[in-house]
Amino acid sequence: MDQAADRPSLIGRRAFLWSAALATAAPIVTEASLAYARLSALGADVPPDAVLINANENPLGPSKAACDAIAQIAPMGGRYDRWDDLDKFTQTFADMHGLKPDYVSVYAGSGEPLHYTVLAFTSPAHGLVVSDPSYEAPVAATKYSGATAHRVPLTASYAHDVKAMVAADPAAGVLYICNPNNPTGTVTPREDILWALANKPPGSILLVDEAYIHLSDEQSVVDMVAQDKDLIVLRTFSKVYGMAGIRCGVAMGRPDLLAKLQAYYQNPMPVTALVAARASLADPDLVPTRKKWIADTRVATINWLAANGYKVIGEPHSNCFMIDTGRDGHGVITALRGQKVYIGRIWPVWPKAVRVTVGTPDEMSKFRVAFKTVMDAPATA
């Protein structure tokens, strides 16, 4: 190909992407920004021996194979993305999920495509429908799209109430379903999600966030992407794969849907993230081993809470759960901080409930001691 002849269109495309980025400069709200804003609000100089179970991170970190892959590629890090790493990862991920590679877009975490989906598909005329409580990032993005956010309570079993969600806005642009849900860790049955897909308002899309799907027994809805339905499914390597600080996430959808997200600008992927993610996928034991490790710790903690008369909300199947403390949640969070245990935040709809992330067994035993101490003391505001 004549490179000189190609140059104007390349420059034109870059200029378009840059102007799109400027026109929509919209800070992305993430789990990290929410969790660490809370730490600053606590006036935190976080002590080195603090228990940090506040951001749904995975204390196991990246697998050994992922770390080895990072170490191997690091000396080549003086160059930008070598492109074949992006292609190899995309192909591997697509093959594993029964998709063609152009149905997969890779980002530095799934927070980016989540935010861009809301920007691309909602507007003052086309609202966003979410559950309450659920992950806050989609609603935060409506600040930039001008959309109305319709908040629908969870069902009695703490699933997404898909019938009420579908009815919430006949002109909806996006219906967001987080399965398992952050913060409750509770799941929504696949048949409910398929019902929402079949009955959602015309012109809307379903945004199914499967950040925590590997930690549950729920079946993914990625097969609906292969069937060209109106949905985008998000995955992240921040949770079961322990790569929150390495940054890799994936959006899966029809190429015409994904193209709308890419208009918001995509930074080249760090090669370290691409090789670490591919190495993680290559280990068939990684997900089942980690899923069991996290589930064992979660179940032991929840059993202890129940045995001591504390109320866990619903049946969590994730690396987080909520406790209804029966008192002001902020007060509990602040008092736990005094014990060097940092838990997650509260959601305004349930001001007495606090979110706890599942840490290591040792961290959770420190949490148990601290929680009992705090709850045995009179409530503080």
Ligand X SMILES: Cc1ncc(COP(=O)(O)O)c(C=O)c1O
- From residue 54, give the alpha-carbon distance in Å to each of 165, 227, 265: 29, 37, 30
Residue 112 vs 169, nearer CB to ligand X: 112
Q: How far is the CB of 191 from ligand X (least distance, A)?
A: 21
Binds ligand X by CB under 6 A, chosen from 53, 69, 114, 279: 114
Interacting residue with ligand X among 221, 244, 261, 312 (CB under 6 A): 244
Taking the least distance from each CB to ligand X, the nearer of 135 and 367 is 135
**Cβ closer to ligand X: 135 or 371?**
135
Is residue 56 close enough to count as binding ligand X by CB under 6 A? yes
Strands 174-178 and 149-153: unpaired
178 binds ligand X (CB under 6 A): yes
Q: Which stretches does DSSP call E strand in 225-330?
A: 231-236, 249-252, 311-312, 320-324
SS3 156: coil
Q: In the complex, what is the shortest distance from the CB of residue 110 to ligand X, in angstroms, rounded to a whole number?
A: 4
Q: Residue 234 CB, nearest distance to ligand X (Å)?
A: 6
Cα–Cα distance, 217 to 213 (Å, whole number)? 8
**Tokens representing residue 165 in the block:** 């969600």
Q: How far is the CB of 308 from ligand X (least distance, A)?
A: 28
Report d(CA 152, CA 164) in Å as an integer.
7
Q: Which of 63, 131, 238, 357 binds ligand X (CB under 6 A)?
A: 238
| Binding residues among 181-200 for ligand X as defined by CB under 6 A | 182
Q: Judging by beta carbons within 10 Å of its beta carbon (0-12, 13-18, 19+), is residue 170 exposed, middle or buried?
A: exposed
Report how many residues bind ligand X under the rule CB under 6 A.
Answer: 16
> Shortest distance, CB of residue 197 to ligand X, whole angstroms?
19
Binding segment for ligand X among 107-115, 197-205, 268-276, 341-349 (CB under 6 A)? 107-115
Report the C-alpha gap between 245 and 243 in whole angstroms: 5
What's the token pair of residue 132? 């309450």
Of these, 127, 133, 249, 329, which contacts ligand X (CB under 6 A)?
Answer: 249
Q: How many residues does the chain have?
A: 381
Tokens, residue 356: 């706890």
Q: How far is the CB of 117 from ligand X (least distance, A)?
A: 11
Q: Which of 58, 63, 110, 272 binds ligand X (CB under 6 A)?
A: 110
Task: Tell me, residue by residue from 129 to 168, as one string, x for binding to ligand X by CB under 6 A and - for no binding.
Answer: ------x---------------------------------
Record the tokens describing residue 191, joined without a space: 């048949």
Q: Which stretch binds ligand X (CB under 6 A): 18-26, 108-116, 184-192, 325-333?
A: 108-116
Q: Which is nearer to ligand X, 33 or 123 (CB)?
A: 33
Contacts (CB under 6 A) with ligand X, residues 16-45: 30-31
Asked if residues 320 and 356 have their Cβ atoms less than 8 Å apart, the reply is yes
DSSP tag of 178: E
Residue placing its CB nearer to ligand X in the complex, 51 or 178: 178
Cα separation, 119 vs 108, in Å, equals 18
| Buried-exposed string 68-87: b where 16+ CB fall within 10 A, e elsewhere | ebbeebeeeeeeeeeeebbe
Are 267 and 260 contacting, i.e. CB atoms less than 8 angstroms apart?
Answer: no
CB nearer to ligand X: give 114 or 205: 114
Contacts with ligand X, residue ranges (CB under 6 A)? 30-31, 56, 109-111, 114, 135, 178, 182, 209, 211, 236, 238, 244, 249
